[in-house]
Amino acid sequence: MSRMFKQFGLSALPFVLVFLLCSVGAVAQPQNVTTYTGTFTDGATYIIQVPDNWNGTLVLYSHGYAAPGGSNPAYDVGDSVTGNYLLASGYALGGSSYATTGWAIKEALPDQIAVLDTFNQIVGKPKRTIAWGHSLGGIITAGLVQRYPDRFDGALPMCGVIAGGVGMWNIVLDSEVAFATLLGSGSGLQVVNITNPVGNATLAETLLSDAQGTDRGKARIALTAALSDVPGWYDPSSPPPPPKDYAAQEANQYLWLANVDFIFAFDLRAELEGRAGGNFSWDTKVDFKEQLGHSVDYKEVKALYQKAGLNLDSDLKALNEATRVKVNPPSLDYLKKNIIFNGKIRIPVLTLHTEGDGLVVNENESAYKDAVDDAGNQNRLRQLFVHRAGHCAFTPGETIVAFQALVNRLDGGVWTGLGAGVLNNDANALGSGYNPYPPSYFKFEPAQFLRPYDAAKH
C-alpha cells in the first residue's frame, strides 16, 4: 500500500492522480470566501466554501478512493488551482469525506446528499447544482444523478468507474485469474475470498517482479494486462510507445500492475469482500480466448508470445480449463446496489477520461455510453478524452474548460464547443499557471468494455 501512494505522492489524498497541482504562472485567487465545516451523525465530515460573489451555482465534489486505515478528510475539489478558479468565478463548492474509507459508495451517496441539505440550511437553496468527481468519485457522481435525479442539473464524472462496480471488478478478476494460473500456480495466491490482504499483495508483487525477468514471464504479464485492457502507457510526462514497440508497452503495463493495479486486485478487493459478505465476481462463462480477441492489447500479446517461444493457444486453453470462480449472489447484490448504471439520465452529463488510464481504463466510457444509448438518452451525454497517460491526469486548464462546456450546455440547452481544437485553445487561453503540460484534448473512441454489466440487461 505505501509503495503505491509513495509512487504517486498521494499519502494525504484520496486515490486520484491529480499530478499537476503546482502552477508555473498567474492563477486566480478568490477573495472573501466563507468556509463552513461540520460532522454528520454518521461521522462523515463536510466542507462548504461560498464566495461573496456567489453566482447561485453549487458544485458538489465527490473524492476518489481513500485507503482503509488512512486519513479521511472532506474535500470539495480535486486540486486547489481549479478550486480557486471556480471560487473566484463565483461558484460555491461542497463535499464530504464519506463516513468510511474504501469502496464507500453506500455511505458516499447519502453523505453527499446531506451536503446539499446542509447547504440549503446554512446558505440557501442554489439555483443550480452540478455534481462532479474523480475516480471512485466519478462513479459516485454518476450514481448521485441516477439515484437522486431531482437534486442535480448537470454532472461531470471524471476518470470514473462508470462501467459500474460489477463490470469493473469482473475484468480485474479475469486478470487475477490469468496471473494466478500462469505465473502463480502452487504459490497460494488468492484471487477471491482473500484472508491476508497485505501478504497476498506482497506475494503477487514478488511473483510479478520475478516474471518480469524473463521473456516468458513478460508475455504472460502482457496477457494478464490485456484481459482488463491495461494500456501500455504509464508516464504522463512521456509520449506513448510506438504502436509496434511491444516490449516498451509491456514494460509500461508492468509498472501499472506493480505500482497500482495489483494493490486493488490482490489487497483492496478484500475490503470490498468484507462489505459485500463474500465474493462478488465470477468467470464461470468466460471464454478467455474470446476475451483476448476483443482486447486492445491482443497484437502485443501475440507478438510477445511469439518472441518468448510460448504457445498462446495452450495458455488460453489452460485458463479455460482452470477451476472457475463462482459468485456469491448476496455479495453480487451488494455490488449491484453500489453501483451499476441503467442509462436513465435526466440531465446533461459530460464525462472526461485520459487515454492511458491503467487503473480505470478508458473503455469504462463505452460501457456507460452503451447504457445511456440503450435508454434513449444519447442527446444528454457527451464524452471527452485527453491524450495522456495517468489516472485522472488532467491539467487544471483541461478540467476548467470541460466544466465550462457543461455550464454552456446548461445555459444554452445545446452542446457546443466540444471540439478538441476549441477546448485546447480555451485551456491555453487560461495561461501557463493552469497548464503545466500542453492541453491535449483529442478525438477518440474507446474500444468495447470487455465485461459489460448494466442494470437494464441484468
In whole angstroms, give the CA distance from residue 142 to residue 145: 5
Specify whether 285 is located in the same domain as 300.
yes
Are residues 148 and 203 both part of a single domain? no
Both 51 and 155 in a single domain? yes
Residues 156 and 282 in one domain: no
Q: What is the mean pLDDT of the chain?
A: 95
Let me know if residue 446 belongs to a domain: no
- For residues 172 and 158, membership in a common domain is answered with no
pLDDT of residue 5: 38
pTM comes to 0.96
pLDDT band, residue 321 (cuts 50/70/90): very high
pLDDT of residue 24: 55
pLDDT score, position 28 = 84
What sign does the dihedral 375-376-382-385 (CA atoms) show?
positive
Residue 175 within any structural domain of the chain: yes
Asked whether residue 94 falls in the same domain as residue 151, the answer is yes
Q: What is the pLDDT of residues 199-229, one digit of tens each?
A: 999 999 999 999 999 999 999 999 999 999 9
- Answer with the one of 288, 314, 334 that is the final residue of a domain: 334
Instruction: Give the pLDDT mean for 360-376.
Output: 98
Residue 12's pLDDT is what?
33
- pLDDT grade for 295, boundaries at 50, 70 and 90: very high
What percent of the chain is modeled with pLDDT above 90? Answer: 93
Residue 245 domain flag: yes
Over residues 18-52, the pLDDT tens digits come to: 444 444 578 989 889 999 999 999 999 999 999 99
* Number of structural domains found in the chain: 2
The whole-number pLDDT of residue 288 equals: 98
Q: Can you tell me the mean pLDDT for 311-338?
A: 98
In a domain, 454, yes or no: no
Same domain flag for 179 and 263: yes
**Would 155 be classed as within a structural domain?**
yes
Domain region containing 177: 165-334
One domain, residues 395 and 288:
no
**pLDDT tens digits for 69-101?**
999 999 999 999 999 999 999 999 999 999 999
Same domain as 171, residue 158: no
Residue 457 lies in a domain: no
Average pLDDT of span 441-452: 98
Return the CATH number at 400: 3.40.50.1820
> Among the three residues 334, 369, 393, which one is the final residue of a domain in this structure?
334
Does residue 443 form part of some domain? no
- Identify the domain boundary among 334, 366, 397: 334
304 and 417 together in one domain: no
Cell of 88: 473566484
Same domain assignment for residues 184 and 229:
yes
Specify if 372 maps to a domain: yes
Q: How far is CA 21 from CA 17, 130, 413, 434, 436, in A?
A: 10, 23, 33, 9, 9
CA atoms within 13 A on the CB side of 18: 29
116 and 177 housed in the same domain: no
